[in-house]
Amino acid sequence: MQFKNVRTLFLTVLLPLFIISFIILSGATYYIASNALNNDAVRIAQSVSQQTAAKIQVEVNSTLLPLKTASRNSAFTIGDKTTQLQALKEIKTDADSVAQTFYCTLDGKTLRDDGTYLERGDREYVKKVKDTGKAYIAKPFMGSTSQKLMTMIVQPVFTNGKLVGMLMASINIEDLAKNTDELKTSENGYTFITDESGLVIGYEKSPELVGKMNLTKPEIEDTNEKVDTRLTTAFNNAILSNAQSFTNFSMPDGTENIATITPFELAGNTWVVVTAAPSIEANAPARMLLKVLAGIYFTSCNFCYPIFLQNLFKTTHNPS
């Protein structure tokens, strides 16, 4: 093309430079801003996970407190069955989440709050407290009466610095993990709890998966639904490193999600909070930014290009 004058040359060069400069500037802006937005999303997910873990720890501590107080009651060291039963019932009254209370001697003989004697010397949580002399929360187990996942909170009882027995309280895990779904990273975000083995033990949004879904196994029990291997890998990494991990994963319906996996210590055991949300919601701010930049670009082009063509036509056909 033969240029008629400097004005034509300027207009011809200006638009391509404007387009190229805008694309470069917009790309850099989007890259920096989207990274910042994604980092904010990660921080929010971290905060939600940590708050959820803290809520469970508070719930456990509120259950342990009556046990700690009762462990100083002489009824469990020198009292008879009647006084021990009364003390056990008082513990149950003080802790709303408690299903049953027990007093266990070092030989495993255990008095339940209904007056029944049980043998519990072979239980993992009894052995653990005998070995460590510290409070402990048991690994989840299926309650024989309730047929729900339960756990046992155990408080050692000392006399003159010597371990003489332990007070125990059984609680429904669904009560322990209640209201965890109140904390979300987005409108359709959700949270669930697993034990160290990966078994889902608290899931308010999908209670049918409690005791069925295990993040270390490829399939959900009693169903043909698969567990995304990316979620399994991230869970194992979090447990091995005892640190938060992050991953994208697909739900059985194919919806892409993003999860923050947070292990936390709970009275001598490890539990895990999984905070998740649909990826489309987690990435919404970055996508909105891209739409805004694209809108600015196309609006500018629609405004500038006709003016450019008009001036170009004038300078080409009406040289001055």
Q: Is the pLDDT of residue 46 over 60?
A: yes
Q: Is the pLDDT of residue 1 over 60?
A: no
- Residue 154's Cβ-count burial label (10 Å; 0-12, 13-18, 19+) is buried
- Neighbouring CB atoms inside 10 A of 194's CB total 25
pLDDT in tens, 264-318: 888 888 899 998 888 777 555 555 655 555 565 566 556 555 555 555 555 444 5
CA–CA separation, 122 and 318 (whole Å):
102
Q: The tokens 């993990």 sit on which residue?
A: 177
CA–CA separation, 15 and 21 (whole Å):
10
Q: Which residues contact 37 (CB under 8 A, 6 or more apart)?
A: 285, 286, 289
pLDDT in tens, 85-120: 999 988 877 666 788 999 999 999 999 999 999 999
Mean pLDDT of 221-230: 85
Strand partners, 259: 247, 276
Sorted by where each begins, the domain ranges of the chain are 71-175
CA–CA separation, 73 and 88 (whole Å):
10
What per-residue confidence (pLDDT) applies to 3?
A: 47
Strand partners, 154: 136, 168
pLDDT in tens, 231-246: 999 999 999 999 888 8
* Of 315 and 52, more confident: 52
Q: How confident is residue 320, by pLDDT bands cut at 50, 70 and 90?
A: very low
What per-residue confidence (pLDDT) applies to 111?
A: 96
- Neighbouring CB atoms inside 10 A of 254's CB total 6
Pick from 311, 296, 301, 293: nearest CA to 26: 293
218-222's contacts with Cβ under 8 Å and 24+ in sequence apart are 220/252
* Weakest-pLDDT range from 81-85, 163-167, 204-208: 204-208
Torsions phi, psi of 144, nearest 5? Answer: -65, -30
Q: Is 198 helix (H, G, I), strand (E, B) or coil?
A: coil
Contact 7, 318 (CB under 8 A): no
Q: How confident is residue 229, by pLDDT bands cut at 50, 70 and 90?
A: very high
Q: And the tokens for 276?
A: 């998740």
CA–CA separation, 60 and 271 (whole Å):
12
CATH superfamily of 71-175: PAS domain (3.30.450.20)
| Cα-Cα-Cα-Cα dihedral sign, residues 11, 17, 23, 29 | negative
Q: And the tokens for 122?
A: 């072979």
